Amino acid sequence: MGNILLFSVIVGLAAALILIPFSKTKPTKEKKPFKSGIFISIILLLVIGIFLFYYLTNLDRSLTSIWILAVAVTGVGAFIASGKERMVKAVLFLGSLAAAIFFLTAFLFNADDKYETAKMTVKTEIETFDEKETPASVPPEFARNKMKKAFGQVPNTSYYELGNLQIQKVNNDYVYIAPVEFSGFFKWFKGKETPGYFTVSATDSNANPKFMQTEMVYTPSSYFNKEIERHIRMQYPQHIFYGEVQLEIDDEGKPYYIRTYGDFITARNGFDIKGIVVVDPQNGDTSSYSLKDVPAFIDGAVSPEAVSLHNSYFGKYIQGFWNSVFGKSEVKLPSDEGTEANVSPIFDENGAMYYFTDFTSPKEGVDSMLGYSLTNSRTGEATYYTGNLEESYMDSQGALQIIEKKFIEKKWKGQMPIIYNFYGEASWLTPVLDANGFLQNYFIVSAANPEISVDGNTPNEALKKYKTALQRGGGSVNGSSNAEEKQAGGKVVRVYKEKSGEITTVSFLLSDGKNFVVSTENNPLSIYLEEDDEVDVNYLDTGEMFLPVKELVIKGLE
Q: pLDDT tens digits for 386-425?
A: 988 778 899 999 999 999 999 999 999 999 999 988 888 8
The mean of the pLDDT values for the chain is 90
- Greater model confidence, 57 or 136: 57
523-532 pLDDT, tens per residue?
Answer: 889 999 999 9
Q: What is the pLDDT of residue 217?
A: 97
Say which CATH class 485-554 falls into: mainly beta
What pLDDT digit, counting tens, does each position of 226-246 carry?
999 999 999 999 999 999 999
Count the residues in the chain: 558
Query: 139: burial class by Cβ within 10 Å (0-12, 13-18, 19+)?
Result: buried
Residue 374 pLDDT > 80, yes or no?
A: yes
pLDDT above 60: residue 29: no
Give the H/E segment covering residue 195. strand 194-201
**347-355 mean pLDDT:** 88
Q: Are strands 546-554 and 515-519 parallel, antiparallel or unpaired?
A: parallel
- Smallest CA-to-CA distance from 165 within 183, 196, 143 is with 143
Q: Indicate the fold that domain 396-473 takes in CATH.
A: Nuclear Transport Factor 2; Chain: A, (3.10.450)
Check pLDDT > 70 for residue 454. yes
Distance CA 315, CA 402 (A): 26
Asked whether residue 261 carries a pLDDT value surpassing 70, the answer given is: yes
pLDDT at 473: 58
Are the C-beta atoms of residues 380 and 273 closer than 8 Å to each other? yes
pLDDT digits (tens, 9 = 90+) for 105-159: 999 999 999 999 999 999 988 877 766 666 667 999 999 999 999 999 999 999 9
CB 194 within 8 A of CB 182: yes
Share of residues in the chain with pLDDT > 70 (%): 94
Q: Band of the pLDDT at 483, cuts 50, 70, 90?
A: low
The mean per-residue pLDDT over the stretch 475-492 comes to 73
Q: What pLDDT does residue 469 have? A: 80
- Domains in the chain: boundaries: 1-107, 396-473, 485-554
435-447 as b/e, with b when 16 or more CB fall inside 10 Å?
Answer: eebebbbbbbbbb
Q: How far is CA 179 from the centre of its chain?
A: 18
* 3-class secondary structure per residue, 271-333: CEEEEEEEECCCCCCEEEEEHHHCCCCCCCCCCHHHHHHHHHHHHHCCCCHHHHHCCCCCCCE
pTM: 0.86
Average pLDDT estimate for 488-515: 89
Residue type, 486: K
Residue 392, CA distances (Å) to 135, 192, 316 in order: 23, 56, 21
Q: Is pLDDT above 70 for 247?
A: yes
d(CA 475, CA 471): 5
* Bridge partners, residue 162, by sequence: 180
485-554 has the same fold as 396-473? no
Distances (CA, A) of 500 to 441, 472, 497, 521: 19, 10, 10, 11
pLDDT above 90 coverage of the chain, percent:
73
Please give the C-alpha separations between residue 290 and each of 166, 269, 299, 459, in angstroms, as whole numbers.
22, 21, 14, 37
pLDDT of residue 468: 77
What is the spatial distance between Cα 328 and Cα 347, in angstroms, rounded to a whole number?
33
Q: Is the dihedral of CA 98, 103, 108, 114 positive or negative?
A: positive
